[in-house]
Every structure is written in C-alpha cells, then in structure tokens.
C-alpha cells in the first residue's frame, strides 16, 4: 500500500520532523523504561532482602526458641540478687550466671535452654589460679535451643523436602581478664553447750555395797550408831574415803551431746576483676554443602571455601574481617587453637549472619555440643511445597520455629518497603502518563506535518492515490519513526537505568533479626540482643528483555497512533485541494 521508497525519502529528507517526533517518542519510551527499571530494581532489591532464604538455596529455616510465655518469668531476673535462689556452688563459679535464678521455675524449654547455656556457667578457677591472665571464648546458643542431629534426618524425610542441612549458630563471648580470687570465710567454734545430765539409778546391790562401805567408815571414825555425838558425824563427813564408797558410774560416765543443726548463710560480694567481654557470632556449617546453608560457596569474596576434611579452617564475614583486620590466609586463635582463615564471605543480609563460620564438627566440639545443631535449613522441591512442609515440620518437631520467606517478608519495613509500594502504586500511573504524553506529542507533530503537506497529499489524491494509500503512507512514515523512536528510546532507557545503577540511591531495610539472644533471654548473655537489623540496599534499575520488547512495542504503538491521527486528517483532504491553493 505505502511506497517504501517514498516512506524512506520522507523520513530521510524531512529529518527534522523525523528526529523531533522520534525523540519525543524515545523520551517517553526511555522514561517508561527507566520507570519500569526502577520498579524492577525495587522489586528485585526487595526480593533480595525478602528472600534471604532463597538466596542461600534454602526455603525454610527451622529453629527452636523459648516460647514467649516464659518471658514473664524472665522479667523477674532481679531475683538473682536473692541469695535464696542460687546455692553457694553456683554462685561461686557462676560469674556469668546472672539472671539464672529467675528461671528456676520455668518450663522444660527454659530448662533445656539453661542447660544449653550452662557452658557459660564455668568455674573460672579452671582457667588457672586466681590472678592468672586468661583469654577465652565461650560459645552459647542464646535463645536457640539445640536439636539432636536426628532432627535433620526427620525433616529430610518429609515429603517435598529436597534436603535438610544442620547448622549450629552460636553467640560467642570473648572474655579476657584475670581469674578472680573468690574467698568465702566462714567462722566456726567458740560455742557454749549446756547439758543437764541425770545419772542412772543405782541397783540394789550397788546400794547395799555403798551402805556397808559407809557403815564401815562410820565405825572406824567412832561415830558408832547413828545416834552418836555430833562431833563424830562431822568427822565422818569430812572423811576423804567416803568417795570410795560411791559406785563408779556416779563418779564418771560417757555422755553424747548433739549440737543442733544450723545453716550458715553468707552473701558473697562478686569478686572485682578486670574481665572484659566482647561478643560475636559464630556458626558451624556443613563444609561439604557448598550450595545451601548459612553461607554458600558463591558468597566467598576472597580466598576459598573449606577444603575437604578440614577442621581447623574458618570462613570470616567480610564485615567482621575488615573491623578486625583479618584477611584470607591469616589465622585466628580461639581457645588456644589456631584456625586458618580459609576465605572471606559476604553472606546474605538476613537470616543468621555470623561473623565466623566453622566446619560443623569443629563448632560442635568447641561448644561441647556433639551431634547437636540448632538450625535446620530445609530446601523444598518447589515453592508450592513450602506451606505443606512448614506444617509437617511443625507436626514432627513440636515447638520448633519455622521461618519461611513469607514470614521473613512480614518483618521487613523501612524505605525499601515504602519505595517498592510507591513504585507499584505510582510507577504504573506515571508510566502511563509519560507514554500518553509521548503519544500526544507524536500525534500532534504528525498532524502538523500533514497540515504542511496538504498540497502534496491533495496532489497524490488527484493523480490517483486512494484514501487508504495516503493513510497507509502516513502510517508507514510514523511507524517508521516509531521504530527509530523505539531504538533511540531503548538507548535512552538503558542510559537512565545505567545512571540509576551508577548513582545507586541507598534504600534502608529494617527487619527483625533471627539472631541469638532475642529479648527474652537477653539478660543471660552479654550484649546478645540484636533486635532489629537495618540494612541498606543500593537501588539498581535492571533492564529485562521484556522491558526492551515493551519499550519497542510502545514506540511502535505511539507511531501507529500518531499515524492514525495524521492519516485521519489526510483522508479528509479533498483531492481538489491540490488545485484550490491556486490564486
């Protein structure tokens, strides 16, 4: 219908009109691409943050934490000052055991947790004689209760589960200082014991023996019959031999005195020490699994992944490494053992981000928790299985906390969430406004062009071009401009997206951390409450093939709409208009 050479000539030789219209369309299309890119960028940033589990190849994290009901108990931690709550033994060694008393009446969960945290209630004396300088790392699970390793097997048997990987995620307390001298002085002795002793009654033979002995003495002292003179009787009474007449039991005997029981209670003042504490987080992971777990091989930023069979190797979080001036290939001493820093890793922002990662067996050994894990990372076959698997885990492991992406997503707030919402709400509307404006501009430019070509178009009609041919010609021209505008627009859009990526405005994300020592047991461990984690994500504006396709189609549609407007105008030009312009 349209003549190709004519269309090409029009576009080429009316380059101003072609360029202006194409740039108009291109600007619109480019802006829309930018908007779509930002929107996609926000979505992917949100997905990145919201699906931390997915990004480590995990769909579900299973942990056990103390049920919230026990928090009422924990609030009474002030009772730890009550000496009645803890015995001497505990009080003496349990420098770190603050708050222990408060849990004495808690549920079995609490008991389990306390048991798990008990490693911290360490007899400092074991570190050396008082006054010895020590450095020691204590590993405590905080609020996460351990599972026996068998739980992993249980979970892996659930239908829909591809794999289940155990991890031991712990809070490490790095203590340095001097072993305190702890002395308890208890004063005893100096007691006065009063006892009333009643001698046993005399037997008849003893009485007769005593009587004959006394009578004999009376005769010797000349007292004679008892009716004798008083002087003789006094003499008798003073006779030292009188005591000889007494029965031996009346002279001396054995008597047991039982002193009444009593408890000596003494409040011990905590010893003054120079112990300083810093905490960091550690995790034991399966070094054989490089694709799913708390950290994956793809997250290694420098150095290497664990070499197989290694026990004395660690991976260090890049953030922790830079703060502590550690680098891959270096070593880190923990409790007297030197660990080689095999690599630095940059794990995902959410989930349980640790500062140091050990092979699981090493971690279990360090924490004296052989065959125990406190996290099970579950991979499911497909996203649709997540719900069913979550329910199954709840059933098989009562009391377990099961986190999936959705439950994590619900915890996210901050500017990213706001921006994403804004992009969803306004981005679409803005894109429509921009594209409509671009179409209007292209349409008006085309109408103006047709108006300038009244005589030309009238002439075409006069020499036999049909209405449809003329409309087709105008349409072909504007669609051609649309193609050009599309290509230009894709360039502009790519530039906008690249610029956004280069500037990379930061978006903050606040989420509830999964970390150890959430508020309920915060008092047990030092500095353990992590609470809310705020992270920053840099916005990028990715360009997808579909966006490019959309942009191109939009430009073509814009060209077609403009052509329809111009064509409508052209179709209504009378062929005689070619003549009418005459004088």
Partner 1 sequence: MTGTNTDAHDEPLYRLVNLAKQYSKGGVIVEAVRGVSLTIKHGEMVALEGPSGSGKSTLLQLLGALDKPTSGTIELAGTDLSKLNDRELTKLRATRIGFVFQNFNLIPTLTAAENVAIAMVPNKVEGRIRTARAAELLEQVSLGHRFDHLPSRLSGGEQQRVAIARALANKPSVIIADEPTGNLDSATAKEVMATLTSLKTLSGVTVIIATHDREIAGMTDRRIHLRDGSITEDVEVERQSAASTSE
Binding site for partner 1 (CB under 8 A): 3, 5-6, 9-10, 12-14, 455-456, 458-467, 469, 574-576, 578-583
Q: To the nearest whole angstrom, how small is the minimum distance from the Cβ of residue 481 to partner 1?
A: 14
Q: At what angle do helices 4-13 and 467-503 cross, to 10 degrees?
A: 50
Closest CA to 484 of 14, 39, 2, 1: 14
Q: Which is nearer to partner 1, 114 or 481 (CB)?
A: 481
Q: To the nearest whole angstrom, how small is the minimum distance from the Cβ of residue 4 to partner 1?
A: 9
Q: To the nearest whole angstrom, how small is the minimum distance from the Cβ of residue 12 to partner 1?
A: 8
Q: Checking phi first, is residue 453 left (phi over 0); if not, alpha (psi -120 to 50) or beta?
A: alpha
Element (H, E) at 172: strand 161-178
The Cβ-side half-sphere exposure at 281, using a 13 Å CA radius, reads 25
Q: Which is nearer to partner 1, 79 or 469 (CB)?
A: 469
Q: Cα–Cα–Cα angle for 355, 356, 359, nearest 5°? A: 150
Q: Which is nearer to partner 1, 48 or 455 (CB)?
A: 455
Q: Checking phi first, is residue 329 left (phi over 0); if not, alpha (psi -120 to 50) or beta?
A: left
Q: Which is nearer to partner 1, 335 or 466 (CB)?
A: 466
- Block residue for tokens 């249980």: 154
Q: To the nearest whole angstrom, how small is the minimum distance from the Cβ of residue 567 to partner 1?
A: 16
Q: To the nearest whole angstrom, how small is the minimum distance from the Cβ of residue 468 to partner 1?
A: 9
Q: To the nearest whole angstrom, how small is the minimum distance from the Cβ of residue 554 to partner 1?
A: 27
Q: Which is nearer to partner 1, 198 or 583 (CB)?
A: 583
- Block residue for tokens 């708390």: 294
Q: Which is nearer to partner 1, 197 or 582 (CB)?
A: 582
Q: Which is nearer to partner 1, 396 or 456 (CB)?
A: 456
Q: To the nearest whole angstrom, how small is the minimum distance from the Cβ of residue 6 to partner 1?
A: 6
Q: To the nearest whole angstrom, how small is the minimum distance from the Cβ of residue 7 to partner 1?
A: 10
Q: To the nearest whole angstrom, how small is the minimum distance from the Cβ of residue 434 to partner 1?
A: 31
Record the tokens describing residue 119, joined without a space.
């490693």
Q: To the nearest whole angstrom, how small is the minimum distance from the Cβ of residue 2 to partner 1?
A: 9
| 449: three-class secondary structure by DSSP | helix
Q: Which is nearer to partner 1, 461 or 526 (CB)?
A: 461
Closest CA to 486 of 19, 9, 8, 22: 22
- The DSSP string of 265-324 is --PPPPPP---EEEEEEEEEE-TT--SSSSS-GGGEEEE-PPPTT-SSEEEEEHHHHHHT
Q: Checking phi first, is residue 324 left (phi over 0); if not, alpha (psi -120 to 50) or beta?
A: alpha
Q: Is 508 exposed, middle or buried (0-12, 13-18, 19+ CB in 10 A)?
A: middle
Q: Which is nearer to partner 1, 258 or 582 (CB)?
A: 582
Record the tokens describing residue 399, joined without a space.
């009391």
Q: Which is nearer to partner 1, 251 or 576 (CB)?
A: 576
Q: Is residue 313 within 8 Å of 563, Cβ to Cβ?
A: no
Separate counts of helices (H) and strands (E) for the chain: 20, 15
Q: To the nearest whole angstrom, how small is the minimum distance from the Cβ of residue 18 to partner 1?
A: 11
Q: To the nearest whole angstrom, how small is the minimum distance from the Cβ of residue 557 to partner 1?
A: 25
Q: Which is nearer to partner 1, 427 or 566 (CB)?
A: 566
Q: To the nearest whole angstrom, how small is the minimum distance from the Cβ of residue 456 to partner 1?
A: 6
Q: Is residue 61 within 8 Å of 97, Cβ to Cβ?
A: no
Q: How far apart are CA 186 and CA 413, in angstroms?
A: 58
Q: How far apart are CA 488 and CA 228, in angstroms?
A: 155
Element (H, E) at 479: helix 467-503
Record the tokens describing residue 364, joined without a space.
């279990």
Q: Which is nearer to partner 1, 9 or 220 (CB)?
A: 9
Residues paired with residue 91 on neighbouring β-strands, in sequence order? none
Record the tokens describing residue 17, joined without a space.
């009109």
Q: How far apart are CA 43 and CA 417, in angstroms?
A: 9
Q: Which is nearer to partner 1, 553 or 576 (CB)?
A: 576
Looking at 358-466, list the stretches that DSSP marks H as alpha helix, in order from N- to C-terminal side: 360-366, 386-396, 405-409, 415-422, 428-452, 454-462
């Amino acid at each position: 219908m349209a003549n190709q050479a004519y269309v090409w000539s029009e576009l080429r030789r009316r380059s101003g009109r072609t360029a202006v219209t194409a740039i108009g369309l291109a600007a619109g299309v480019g802006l829309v691409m930018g908007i779509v890119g930002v929107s996609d960028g926000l979505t992917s940033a949100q997905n990145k943050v919201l699906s931390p589990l997915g990004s480590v190849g995990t769909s579900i994290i299973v942990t056990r934490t103390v049920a919230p009901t026990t928090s009422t108990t924990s609030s009474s931690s002030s009772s730890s000052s009550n000496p009645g709550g803890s015995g001497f033994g505990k009080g003496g060694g349990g420098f770190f055991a603050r708050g222990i008393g408060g849990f004495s009446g808690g549920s079995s969960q609490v008991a389990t947790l306390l048991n798990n945290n008990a490693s911290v209630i360490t007899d400092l004396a074991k570190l050396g004689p008082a006054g010895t300088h020590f450095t020691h790392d204590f590993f405590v699970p905080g609020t996460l209760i351990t599972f026996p390793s068998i739980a992993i097997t249980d979970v892996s048997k659930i239908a829909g589960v591809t794999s289940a990987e155990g991890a031991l995620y712990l809070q490490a307390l790095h203590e340095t200082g001097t072993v305190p001298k702890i002395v308890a002085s208890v004063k005893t002795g100096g007691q006065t014991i009063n006892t009333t002793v009643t001698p046993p009654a005399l037997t008849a033979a003893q009485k007769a023996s005593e009587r004959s002995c006394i009578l004999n003495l009376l005769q010797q002292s000349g007292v004679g019959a008892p009716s004798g003179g008083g002087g003789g009787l006094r003499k008798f009474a003073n006779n030292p031999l009188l005591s000889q007449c007494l029965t031996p039991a009346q002279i001396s005997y054995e008597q047991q005195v039982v002193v009444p029981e009593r408890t000596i209670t003494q409040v011990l003042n905590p010893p003054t020490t120079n112990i300083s504490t810093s905490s960091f987080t550690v995790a034991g992971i399966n070094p054989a699994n490089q694709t799913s777990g708390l950290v994956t091989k793809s997250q290694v930023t420098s150095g290497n992944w664990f070499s197989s069979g290694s026990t004395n190797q660690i991976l260090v979080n890049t953030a922790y490494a830079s703060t502590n001036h550690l680098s891959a290939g270096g070593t880190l001493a923990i409790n007297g053992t030197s660990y080689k820093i095999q690599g630095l890793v940059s794990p995902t922002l959410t989930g349980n981000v640790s500062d140091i990662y050990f092979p699981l067996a090493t971690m279990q050994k360090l924490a004296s928790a052989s065959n125990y894990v406190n996290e099970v990372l579950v991979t499911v076959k497909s996203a649709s299985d997540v719900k069913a698997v979550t329910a199954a885990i709840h059933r098989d492991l009562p009391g377990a906390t099961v986190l999936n992406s959705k439950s994590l997503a619900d915890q996210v707030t901050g500017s990213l969430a706001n921006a994403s919402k804004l992009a969803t709400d306004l981005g679409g509307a803005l894109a429509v406004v921009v594209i409509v404006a671009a179409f209007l501009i292209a349409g008006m430019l085309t109408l103006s062009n047709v108006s300038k070509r009244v005589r030309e178009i009238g002439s075409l009609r006069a020499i036999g071009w049909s209405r449809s041919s003329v409309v087709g010609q105008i349409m072909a021209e504007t669609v051609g401009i649309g193609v050009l505008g599309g290509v230009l627009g894709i360039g502009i859009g790519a530039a906008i997206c690249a610029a956004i990526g280069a500037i990379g405005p930061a978006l903050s994300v606040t989420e509830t951390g999964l970390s150890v020592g959430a508020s309920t047991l915060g008092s047990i461990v030092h500095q353990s409450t992590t609470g809310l984690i705020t992270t920053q994500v840099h916005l990028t504006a990715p360009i997808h093939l579909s966006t490019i396709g959309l942009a191109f189609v939009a430009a073509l549609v814009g060209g077609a709409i403009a052509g329809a407007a111009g064509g409508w105008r052209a179709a209504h030009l009378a062929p005689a208009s070619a003549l009418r312009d005459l004088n």
